Structure 1
Amino acid sequence: MLLNTDMARLDVMETFHNISFPGHLHTQDSLNYAIHFPFQDTDTVIATYPKSGTTWMQEIVTFVKNGGDPHLSKTVPNWTRAPWLEQYYSPEVLGASQGHRVITTHLPYHLLANALQDSKAKVIYVTRNPKDVAVSYYYFHKMANFLPEPNSFDEFLDQFLEGKVNYGSWFDHVKGWTSQARVNFFYISYEEIWLDLQGCMERISSFLECPLVEKDLTRSVRHCSFSSMRDNTMVNYTLIPNEIMDHSKGHFMRKGKIGDWRNTFTEEQIGRFDNVYNSLMQNCPLTFLYECPPNS
């Protein structure tokens, strides 16, 4: 669906419930559609803040749901396999979906709370350490022509810490979703997936009640490796025209490593980030892995 869009609204921003969204992908109608969406009990919802492992989880769920068969992953773009609920094309794609649906969202929990309240849909929420999120999001802004061009990382970091970026505050997003203690919610971190992809796939397949036999699990792990996804045109967004996503300015799937933030943050920026984090997350029990363990 994204391939059929023209270059309209690349410079438009939509404000919805005091949160900014890129107008190229979102409209007031599509955002209202999302928050009133009639979830089905058989739905699987992947919820993330941007640049936190969304694409990786879409790929993992694709393989789990399809018994390790790589056909869909190799032939259908991820935005069609697991469409974003709040984007303009969602009603058409979801309306044509048959059977168990996989739905992706970047919306904060409070906007979907009512829609999810009485549903038994299974929700997977993926977190990532916020320093790597900030760096990855910054570089994504540099290549995505539907997002504001950042003048510098220092300026972007200020906006990130203040929650004045598209999709709102990382702090509010993570606290909102992870404060929900519900049996049909599954929480996992990007770092866990990076360090133990097979173990995470086993846990996710158990949560989704789609167990994988050993040979299918092995095949799924191979196809869901970061390097395999980076080379898959159905996953790496190289199908998107340069006018929308300028591939000469970077790769959608850049490095993906744990702790790459150290190559961008200055000592002053680390201190500034830590002060805001400690203030806003003081009552949050979550801990994040900021460095890749030795020999991993």
Structure 2
Amino acid sequence: MTEAELYTVYKGVYVPTHLHPAESLKFYEEFSFRPDDIIIVTYPKSGTTWMQELVPLIMSGVPWLEVHRAYILNLEERPSPRMFATHFHYNMMPTSFFKVKPKVLYVMRNPKDVFTSSFHYYGMASYLVKPGSQTEFLHKFLEGKVVFGSWFDHVKGWINAEDKDRIMFISYEEMIMDLKDSVTRMATFLEKPLEDAVIEKIADRCVFKNMKKNKMSNYSLVPSEFMDQKKSEFLRKGVFCFNDVHTVDCKFY
């Protein structure tokens, strides 16, 4: 199926129509934030599921803000602090976000790894346009003709956001290299300092091998007509690679 059949253009970028029908986008635009709200923001395939596992262990549950179930979950009635997740760009945030200025955890990942993970994900998710060859998908990815638009625009927009004291920027790669330190810094930012033993338990629970066994994290309960994990697992390798003059090193999360 084509982009016109599967996607809606919202504020200049593609969003999957199945997950973002008109009523959910209207709810999103009219949503009222609170100053103590916490928002996980990622470009797709940049550690979203990982953060959705980590932050609830620090705080509590994390619903998606703009997807179709949000407007029936009575989010406005939830006690503070509320937590949400979104893939939207900075300039796509609703009016109340800029007035209230809730806290944001923004996760970045190397675009090479985002591309690879996205290529496999597009091949197994029925609500996304099939990627074609890697070369074809690379052109779409670089031109921002994929869901949630350009990785470059997404990262640039949030990095240049105002009120940076309300935003914690953290990379997928530094979380891999030292998860306990990352959890400690996130907890401090969220004003939820944790004992060392608790940090140790959170880090252990959120290593890749344990998340891959967790049915809530590996999405194995999602029907195969929506995500065909015979084509590609939702949680694959969690790999990152970096190059320097002398070596090529890959680490796995």
Check whether TM > 0.5: yes
- Whichever structure has more strand as a proportion of its residues is 2
Match of 1:88 among 68, 87, 91: 68
Match of 1:114 among 95, 105, 125: 95
Per the TM alignment, residue 18 of structure 1 is displaced from its structure 2 partner at its CA by 2.0
Cα distance in 2, alignment partners of residues 291 and 51 from structure 1: 22
Worse overlay, 161-170 or 15-24: 15-24
Aligned length: 243
Cα distance in 2, alignment partners of residues 188 and 40 from structure 1: 23
Per the TM alignment, residue 129 of structure 1 is displaced from its structure 2 partner at its CA by 0.5
Show structure 2 runs of 5+ residues with no match: none
Per the TM alignment, residue 148 of structure 1 is displaced from its structure 2 partner at its CA by 0.6
8 Å contact kept, 1:56–1:224: yes
Per the TM alignment, residue 85 of structure 1 is displaced from its structure 2 partner at its CA by 1.2
Using CA pairs below 8 Å that are at least 6 residues apart, which structure has the higher relative contact order?
Answer: 1
**Secondary structure at 1:248's aligned position in 2?**
coil
**For residue 133 of structure 1, what is the aligned residue in structure 2?**
114
Worse overlay, 172-181 or 196-205: 172-181
Per the TM alignment, residue 13 of structure 1 is displaced from its structure 2 partner at its CA by 1.5
Note the aligned Cα RMSD (angstroms): 2.1
**For residue 209 of structure 2, what is the aligned residue in structure 1?**
227
**Secondary structure at 2:80's aligned position in 1?**
coil
- 1:206 paired with 2:188, answer yes
Pairing of 1:189-204 with structure 2 (within 5 A): 189-204=171-186
Cα deviation, 1:229-272, whole Å, max 9, x if unaligned, reads: 11100111111100101111111111101129x9xxxxxxxxxx
- The 1:113/1:13 distance shift into structure 2, 3 A limit, reads closer
Match of 1:24 among 15, 18, 36: 18
TM-score by length of 1: 0.77
- The 1:201/1:163 distance shift into structure 2, 3 A limit, reads same
- Taking only the aligned residue pairs, the percentage that are identical comes to 40
Cα deviation, 1:117-144, whole Å, max 9, x if unaligned, reads: 1224110000000010011011000111
- 1:63 paired with 2:45, answer no
- The 1:86/1:292 distance shift into structure 2, 3 A limit, reads farther
TM-score by length of 2: 0.90
